[in-house]
Structure 1
Amino acid sequence: MPTLLKVHGSANQFFILDQTTLNQSLTDAELASLAQQLTDPQDGLLGGADGLLVVNKPTRPGSQAQMRVINADGSEATMCGNGLRTVARYVAERDGLDHFAVDTLDASLQVRRQPDLADGVPAFAVEISPVRFNREALPYEKLGHDRLLGTPVPEIWPQLTFSAIAVPNPHLISFVDRPALQDDVLGVIGKRLNGANPYFTDGVNVNFAHILGQNQLFVRTYERGVGFTNACGTGMSATSLAFVLLHPDQASFNQPIDVFNPGGKVRTIVHYEDQHYWIELIGNATFTERITVDEVDLHQANVKPGQVQVESTGEQAAYQAFVNQLPHFDLVD
């Protein structure tokens, strides 16, 4: 019988489905329905999740696998950095590899095993690219600028500046003070720009960042198709790039940046090579449960607690011990 994995990167939770193990792959409509059913916090499995990660055969020469990201609302994301780390670990263990490429919708991305963050906390590094700044890559309209990089945008919010970076997921970033992290501005902006609006008609991930010190950030994200999430890998990567570009006195290229979030911590390294930007995202790849399920139930989006066998891996305790020893900034209520 097929097996689902419940996983997380920085407490950004997913289910992994390896379609290469199935007798028949799910259709796109079936994947959307399954993601909505599995991830529902009330009626889903194991308290729900932020999305479904689908592992397929590779689509480009030289890659080991393909990853598709189905959000909790059934929409598809171009990429997910936290999710890619967990898929990288899954494929690495499945195929006995430490360094390989995984196809996403827009690119083939390099992934590699890293030393454990702590005892029992496996870690992987993943490539976040391509990076684009142009308006069409997000896309956005009617904001009076072809590029946003530390730009006042009164149409979105007064007295804040914004950067728009696609990595390739679209991200809107604002560096804010501590009170702005604790009030409801991020939620108001996130809901507005991910509903019917004249600016980001396809929606956008919104990130508020607070500078903690040299090469240190705290990032909170309102994720397109999800809402508030414990962490967003591409969001932390895009924000790290904006950090280096806008605050060169506090962050540098090719130097590790510690990025804290409500779910824990990752490390990023921003690169500029051959006139191209890319970001390395390094963090945990934790498997919390293995779920044995009937393939028919997958196709019918009918994966219910009483119909599956769940085996705990015990890894969450190790991850929680790692998080407990991190600095606590108390930046989010």
Structure 2
Amino acid sequence: MELEIIKCHGSGNDFLLIDEMSNEYTFSESERSALAISLCNRKTELGADGILFVMKSDRADGRMRVFNADGSEASMCGNGLRCVARYVCELLNKDSALIETMKADLAVRKEHDIFPEIPTYLVEISPVSFQVRELPLHISQETFVNEKLPALSEEIPFTAVAVPNPHLIAIVDNETIHSTVQKELSEYVNGPNELFPDGVNVSFVKAIQPGQIYVRTFERGVGFTNACGTAMSASTLVTCLNKLNHLEEPVEVFNNGGKVRCVAHQKENSYTIDLIGNATYVYVAKIEVNVQSPSTFTCTSKNEFSKEIAQYTKLQEEVTSYLKDVL
């Protein structure tokens, strides 16, 4: 079977996008999982953090399903949603759209460039829940906000939040951000453990100055990534709740893959978050693959988006230089 694939990324969090809206592709659940494991393998000619399947929707402009590199399905992906937002908006010749995801239909729209000549999209991150059962986190209380959990650390307070995929977030100092603590803790909660039976995304956040934070995330099913959109969104909200930043005001969120802008909103007793950042195309490729057994495949063509790559490289260089001075 011949598949056309767009390699794309949001903040360096890279994906393979497969269009089921305008192509005749159909996949079983096991085939989606197997494709993700095979095509996302970094040892192959492609390689990525996951696959974005863009599908038709009965109630929205398009539907997004996200499969991680280990074959598991994610309930949401903010960086991936920006890429899907761009693809659907350009496909339908629209500046805004509604995208169906596993837990919610989310509004997306084209936004002013976050950096010169970089396609930029705003995507809605919701629903937001602090109920530990939503992650799930097995503890004898309903919420866990800015508290210490001895099984994880005697020194670091954490906040558990679902947006809707599960996140464990800690605001830390420079020494901790450069230590091995995050790696060790993340591997524990994503292995056999009694607290998080389904695993959890773990983010360490460093406040740089008012309106600026740095976020590094260990993603469930992937490991450390350049950035995680829902993690950066959730981290922004957590810093607002800790009075380091303010609701309704933009926060520049720096990551190892670049930067985004987030705005956390409160509506009565609930929250939503705007995630604003790049949706960059790297290349379009065609592959020959047996979807029933995709362990091997052949890439028959690959055409790069050279200008987009060059512009994002400039943004990365600027961010890297800045982070060297502040971290």
Same fold (TM over 0.5): yes
Structure 1 residues 138, 6: closer, same or farther in 2, change over 3 A?
Answer: same
**Could you tell me which residue of structure 1 aligns to residue 45 of structure 2?**
45
User: Which residue of 93, 97, 107 maps to 1:100?
Assistant: 97
TM-score, normalised via structure 1 length: 0.93
**Could you tell me which residue of structure 2 aligns to residue 310 of structure 1?**
302
Deviation of residue 119 (structure 1)? Answer: 3.1
Following superposition of structure 1 onto structure 2, how do residues 183-194 of structure 1 map, counting pairs within 5 Å? Answer: 183-194=179-190
Residues 177-219 of structure 1: CA deviation (Å, up to 9, x unaligned): 0111111111111111011000000100000000001011100
Following superposition of structure 1 onto structure 2, how do residues 126-275 of structure 1 map, counting pairs within 5 Å? Answer: 126-142=123-139, 144-246=140-242, 248=243, 250-275=244-269
2-structure distance, mates of 1:275, 1:126: 21
Letter in 1 for 2:54: V
Deviation of residue 118 (structure 1)? Answer: 2.7
1-structure distance, mates of 2:325, 2:155: 20
Unaligned runs of 5+ in 1: none
Superposition RMSD on alpha carbons, in Å? 1.7
**Could you tell me which residue of structure 1 aligns to residue 55 of structure 2?**
56
Q: Is residue 286–residue 299 contact of structure 2 (8 Å, CA) maintained in 1?
A: no
**Could you tell me which residue of structure 2 aligns to residue 113 of structure 1?**
110
1:319 maps onto 2:316 in alignment: no
Residues 148-201 of structure 1: CA deviation (Å, up to 9, x unaligned): 111111111120000000000100000000111111111111111011000000
Following superposition of structure 1 onto structure 2, how do residues 8-19 of structure 1 map, counting pairs within 5 Å? Answer: 8-19=9-20
Unaligned runs of 5+ in 2: none
Letter in 1 for 2:106: L
**Could you tell me which residue of structure 2 aligns to residue 301 of structure 1?**
294
Deviation of residue 298 (structure 1)? Answer: 4.3
Q: 4+ residue stretches of structure 1 with deviation over 6 A?
A: none
Task: Calculate percent identity across the aligned residue pairs.
Answer: 39
**Could you tell me which residue of structure 2 aligns to residue 290 of structure 1?**
284
Q: Is residue 88–residue 97 contact of structure 2 (8 Å, CA) maintained in 1?
A: no
Q: Is residue 181–residue 331 contact of structure 1 (8 Å, CA) maintained in 2?
A: no
SS at match of 1:34: helix
Moved more, 17-26 or 124-133: 17-26
How many residue pairs are counted as aligned between the two chains? Answer: 324
**Could you tell me which residue of structure 2 aligns to residue 329 of structure 1?**
323
